[in-house]
Amino acid sequence: AQAIYLKDYLPPAFTTKETFLDFELLADHTLVRSRLKVVRNPKRQDASNEFKLDGNELELLEVKVDGQALSEADYELTATSLTLNLDKDAFEFECTTRIYPDRNTALEGLYISGGMYCTQCEAEGFRRITFFQDRPDVLSVFTTRITADLEKYPTALSNGNQVSRIEQDGKVVAEWHDPFPKPSYLFALVAGDLICQQDRFTTQSGREVLLQIFVEQGNEHKCDHALESLKRSMRWDEEVYGREYDLDLFMIVAVDHFNMGAMENKGLNIFNSSCVLATPETATDEAFARIEGIVGHEYFHNWSGNRVTCRDWFQLSLKEGFTVFRDAEFSSDMGSRAVKRLEDVSFLREHQFPEDAGPMSHAVRPASYMEISNFYTVTIYEKGSEVVRMLRTILGAELFRKGSDLYFETFDGQAATTDDFVWAMEQVSGRDLAQFKRWYSQAGTPRLDISRTFDVDSGVLSLKAVQSTPTTADGSAKEPFVIPVELGVLGDNGQQLELTADDDRFDLQRGVWLIDASEQTLELKLANQTDTTPVVSLLRDFSAPVLLSDDLSDQERIQLIASDSNGFNRWEQCQIIYKKLIIQHVNGGFDSSLLDGLKTSLIQLLNDSDVEHAVKAELLNLPSESEFLQLVPSINILSVAQARKGLRVWMAEALKAQLEQLFVDLNQEQQYRFEPKQVGIRKLKNLALEYLMLADLSSFQPIALKQFETATNMTDQLSAFRFIVKHADEASAERVSDAFLNQWRDDVQVLEQWFRVQVSRSDSKTLSRVSALLSHELFEYQNPNKVRAVIGAFAMANVESFHSADGSGYEFLAKQVAKLDQMNPQIAARLISPLVKWKSYDQARGLQMKVQLEGLSKLELSKDLYEVVSKSLS
Please state the closest distance from residue 294 (CB atom) to ligand HT7, in A: 8
DSSP strand pairing (547-550 vs 447-455): parallel
Please state the closest distance from residue 371 (CB atom) to ligand HT7, in A: 10
SS3 362: coil
Taking the least distance from each CB to ligand HT7, the nearer of 366 and 534 is 366
137 binds ligand HT7 (CB under 6 A): no
Return the one option of Zn ion, ligand HT7, none that residue 363 interacts with (CB less than 5 to 8 A, by type). none
Taking the least distance from each CB to ligand HT7, the nearer of 262 and 428 is 262
867 binds ligand HT7 (CB under 6 A): no
For residue 385, give the nearest of 355, 341, 339, 415 by alpha carbon.
341
122 binds ligand HT7 (CB under 6 A): yes
Task: Give the separation between CA 462 and CA 464, rounded to whole angstroms.
Answer: 6
What residues numbered 322-381 form the site for Zn ion, per CB under 5 A?
323
Which stretch, 207-215, 239-247, 295-303, 501-509, contacts ligand HT7 (CB under 6 A)? 295-303
The residue from 178, 264, 486, 690 that contacts ligand HT7 (CB under 6 A) is 264
Taking the least distance from each CB to ligand HT7, the nearer of 254 and 651 is 254
> Sign of torsion, CA 746 750 755 757?
negative
Cα 345 to Cα 320, 448, 512, 544, 750, distances in angstroms: 17, 16, 19, 10, 28
The 356-375 contact track toward ligand HT7, x by CB under 6 A, reads -----------------x--
Which stretch, 215-223, 262-270, 327-335, 571-579, contacts ligand HT7 (CB under 6 A)? 262-270
Residues in a beta bridge with 519? 466
Taking the least distance from each CB to ligand HT7, the nearer of 376 and 663 is 376
The 264-303 contact track toward Zn ion, x by CB under 5 A, reads ----------------------------------------
Catalytic residue list contains 618: no
376 binds ligand HT7 (CB under 6 A): yes
The residue from 56, 120, 197, 284 that contacts ligand HT7 (CB under 6 A) is 120
The residue from 175, 298, 327, 821 that contacts ligand HT7 (CB under 6 A) is 298
φ, ψ (nearest 5 deg) of residue 306? -95, -60
Which stretch, 94-102, 280-288, 296-304, 808-816, contacts ligand HT7 (CB under 6 A)? 296-304
SS3 819: helix
The residue from 138, 263, 615, 679 that contacts ligand HT7 (CB under 6 A) is 263
Return the one option of Zn ion, ligand HT7, none that residue 376 interacts with (CB less than 5 to 8 A, by type). ligand HT7
The residue from 297, 307, 340, 761 that contacts ligand HT7 (CB under 6 A) is 297
Count of alpha carbons within 13 Å of 290, Cβ hemisphere only? 15
Please state the closest distance from residue 239 (CB atom) to ligand HT7, in A: 22
CA angle in degrees (0–180, nearest 5) for 277-279-281: 130
The 535-574 contact track toward ligand HT7, x by CB under 6 A, reads ----------------------------------------
Please state the closest distance from residue 468 (CB atom) to Zn ion, in A: 32
Residue of 124, 175, 292, 298 marked catalytic: 298
Return the one option of ligand HT7, Zn ion, none that residue 259 interacts with (CB less than 5 to 8 A, by type). ligand HT7
φ, ψ (nearest 5 deg) of residue 453? -135, 140
Residues in a beta bridge with 98? 31, 59
Cα 64 to Cα 12, 51, 139, 508, 764, distances in angstroms: 20, 13, 21, 67, 64
526 binds ligand HT7 (CB under 6 A): no
- For 661-743, list the strands marked E by DSSP: none
Report how many helices (DSSP H) and strands (DSSP E) the chain contains, helices first.
31, 34
Return the one option of Zn ion, ligand HT7, none that residue 268 interacts with (CB less than 5 to 8 A, by type). none
Taking the least distance from each CB to Zn ion, the nearer of 305 and 484 is 305
Please state the closest distance from residue 411 (CB atom) to Zn ion, in A: 17
User: How many CB atoms are located within 10 Å of the residue 164 CB?
Assistant: 10
Kindly report the three-state secondary structure assignment for every residue of 242-254: CCCCCCCEEEEEE
259 binds ligand HT7 (CB under 6 A): yes
> What residues have CB less than 8 Å from 323, skipping those under 6 apart?
297, 300, 301, 304, 305
Taking the least distance from each CB to ligand HT7, the nearer of 357 and 370 is 370
Please state the closest distance from residue 323 (CB atom) to Zn ion, in A: 5
Please state the closest distance from residue 545 (CB atom) to ligand HT7, in A: 19
Which stretch, 297-305, 410-418, 567-575, 660-668, contacts ligand HT7 (CB under 6 A)? 297-305
What residues numbered 826-845 form the site for ligand HT7, per CB under 6 A?
826
Which stretch, 69-77, 254-262, 416-424, 694-702, contacts ligand HT7 (CB under 6 A)? 254-262
Count the residues in the chain: 874
CA 855 to chain centroid, in Å, comes to 30
Q: Supply the Cα-derived Rg of the chain in whole angstroms.
A: 28
- Kindly determine how many residues on this chain lie close enough to bind ligand HT7 according to the rule CB under 6 A: 15
320 binds ligand HT7 (CB under 6 A): yes
Please state the closest distance from residue 640 (CB atom) to ligand HT7, in A: 32
Residue with the CB atom nearest ligand HT7 in the bound state: 260
Which stretch, 94-102, 260-268, 665-673, 858-866, contacts ligand HT7 (CB under 6 A)? 260-268
Q: Omega into 13 within 30° of 0, i.e. cis?
A: no
Cα 604 to Cα 119, 555, 569, 608, 646, distances in angstroms: 54, 15, 16, 6, 22
Which amino acid, one-letter code, is at 850? Answer: K
> What residues have CB less than 8 Å from 676, skipping those under 6 apart?
335, 336, 612, 614
Return the one option of Zn ion, ligand HT7, none that residue 122 interacts with (CB less than 5 to 8 A, by type). ligand HT7
SS3 255: strand
Kindly report the three-state secondary structure assignment for every residue of 170-204: CEEEEEEEEEEEECHHHCCEEEECEEEEEEEEECC
Return the one option of ligand HT7, Zn ion, none that residue 526 interacts with (CB less than 5 to 8 A, by type). none
Which amino acid, one-letter code, is at 35? Answer: R
Taking the least distance from each CB to ligand HT7, the nearer of 336 and 826 is 826
Task: Give the separation between CA 840 and CA 838, rounded to whole angstroms.
Answer: 5
Q: Omega into 828 within 30° of 0, i.e. cis?
A: no
Which stretch, 57-65, 67-75, 238-246, 256-264, contacts ligand HT7 (CB under 6 A)? 256-264
Q: Are 21 and 130 in contact (CB under 8 A)?
A: yes
- Percent helix / strand / coil, the chain, rounded to 5: 45, 20, 30
Return the one option of Zn ion, ligand HT7, none that residue 356 interacts with (CB less than 5 to 8 A, by type). none
Please state the closest distance from residue 381 (CB atom) to ligand HT7, in A: 7
Count of alpha carbons within 13 Å of 812, Cβ hemisphere only? 21
For residue 402, give the nearest of 433, 426, 432, 428 by alpha carbon.
428
What residues numbered 302-321 form the site for Zn ion, per CB under 5 A?
320
The residue from 123, 146, 328, 395 that contacts ligand HT7 (CB under 6 A) is 123
For residue 238, give the nearest of 270, 213, 271, 202 by alpha carbon.
202
Return the one option of ligand HT7, Zn ion, none that residue 469 interacts with (CB less than 5 to 8 A, by type). none
Kindly report the three-state secondary structure assignment for every residue of 12-26: CCEEEEEEEEEEEEC
User: How many CB atoms are located within 10 Å of the residue 224 CB?
Assistant: 14
Which amino acid, one-letter code, is at 499? Answer: L
Q: Are 802 and 834 in contact (CB under 8 A)?
A: yes
Taking the least distance from each CB to ligand HT7, the nearer of 212 and 826 is 826
Taking the least distance from each CB to Zn ion, the nearer of 147 and 323 is 323
Which residues form the catalytic set?
298
Residues that bind Zn ion (CB under 5 A): 320, 323
Residues that bind ligand HT7 (CB under 6 A): 120, 122-123, 259-260, 262-264, 297-298, 301, 320, 373, 376, 826
